[in-house]
Structure 1
């Protein structure tokens, strides 16, 4: 398999050939401050996840492992504090269901496609790396979109440009420019479903914008 770098990113170079993407639309405003109660709630949720991961790693649910997980999780939060991530969106059951059902369908379809490529005698698929500027550039949206894309067989996130909100995605079985365009549209469709499911009203409105850097990458 060979990787074909598109014109917007030269081979062996960490930035696109034309330089970093131009800045997109300015954010709506500074993130809302997180109160003391909100920080404690977020820390409690993070501690719960760390304890759950600890128990899964050990594979044994016992009081000793539970206590050890709480101690280790508290130490991680104390000595390696993470910057607060605010959530200004809202959960929408309908779009959440659409996101889940669509993801399941894409998972099955992509798995069958990758299996067919792998089993085709004498066929050598070509890969490519594409740059996809997102329209909503919050840390949460970048993380969720990157995770969903990476879970689908045949696509993998190689790099995330947090400053410019760009995902660099490796795609499998590229036969022509139309495949590159289709892959970009699929990534943007995933972002659209995620924002509609958990984003704020301002972020949903932002989906209708057509940023300059997206047009430059098509």
Structure 2
């Protein structure tokens, strides 16, 4: 005797559910704001012409070259965002003065180093914003970004010891913390406020140092 009853199956939800209209609109606003900010920073002058041209260029880029949707799970916090900009402008001025001094001073050429900095929040948005902020400050340049591990490989100039290299590495983590505090989600914010995992850092390669 056979039974005609079958066990009902529950449909499996898609792995990547489609974004709602509100989420898509918010992501577009974030993308346009980020691209416009980068455009103004590249010009180095805050003016209505640069802001308007950046907005137009951002809209055209997103329309002509649509990117895969990047989920923005955080929220914009005005006070931490203002703190980020104040500290970024300060670092920009200080680094410019230091590079100018290295260019005119006498003596041995400055040492440089390539260091690996694993970020604590491994998302495309955080990786991109941290890399852009580092590259805009004179004296540091991103040579590779490992998306799988969330690691930035940074070339820096003007270091004299491994202690200074480690201070720069910590400075990158502090920069990441300011970015996450400004626009990150509560879960991302908890990651950057916790102590960094213990363990010896990856050694840096000092270029020009005596063997």
Q: Do Structure 1 and Structure 2 share a fold, with TM-score over 0.5?
A: yes
Could you list the per-position Cα deviations for residues 36-58 of structure 1 after superposition, in whole angstroms to 9, with x for gaps in the alignment?
453356458768969xx8xxxxx
Work out the CA distance in 1 between the residues paired with 2:113 and 2:147: 21
Match of 1:134 in 2: 119
**Larger CA Rg, structure 1 vs 2:** 2
For structure 2, which runs of at least 5 residues remain unmatched after alignment? 1-14, 40-48, 50-55, 204-211
Shift of 1:123: 3.2
For the pair 1:211 / 2:163, whether they are aligned, the reply is no
Q: Give 1:200's match in structure 2, choosing from 173, 179, 185.
A: 185
Greater shift in the superposed pair: 41-50 or 154-163: 41-50
Whether the 8 Å contact between 2:27 and 2:72 is mirrored in structure 1 is no
Q: 1:74 to 1:128 in 2, by over 3 A?
A: closer
Match of 1:162 in 2: 147
Whether the 8 Å contact between 2:114 and 2:154 is mirrored in structure 1 is yes
What is the total number of aligned residue pairs between the two structures?
Answer: 171
Whether the 8 Å contact between 2:32 and 2:59 is mirrored in structure 1 is no
Match of 2:168 in 1: 183
Larger relative contact order, structure 1 or 2 (CA cutoff 8 Å, min sep 6)? 1
Shift of 1:93: 1.1
For the pair 1:103 / 2:88, whether they are aligned, the reply is yes
Could you list the per-position Cα deviations for residues 74-97 of structure 1 after superposition, in whole angstroms to 9, with x for gaps in the alignment?
7624xxx32101111011111111
Q: 1:91 to 1:176 in 2, by over 3 A?
A: same
Work out the CA distance in 2 between the residues paired with 1:123 and 1:146: 30
What is the TM-score when the length of structure 1 is the normalising length? 0.67
Runs of 4+ in 1 over 2 A off after TM superposition: 30-33, 36-50, 68-75, 209-212, 214-218
Shift of 1:35: 1.7
Could you list the per-position Cα deviations for residues 174-195 of structure 1 after superposition, in whole angstroms to 9, with x for gaps in the alignment?
2111111011011011001000
What is the TM-score when the length of structure 2 is the normalising length? 0.69
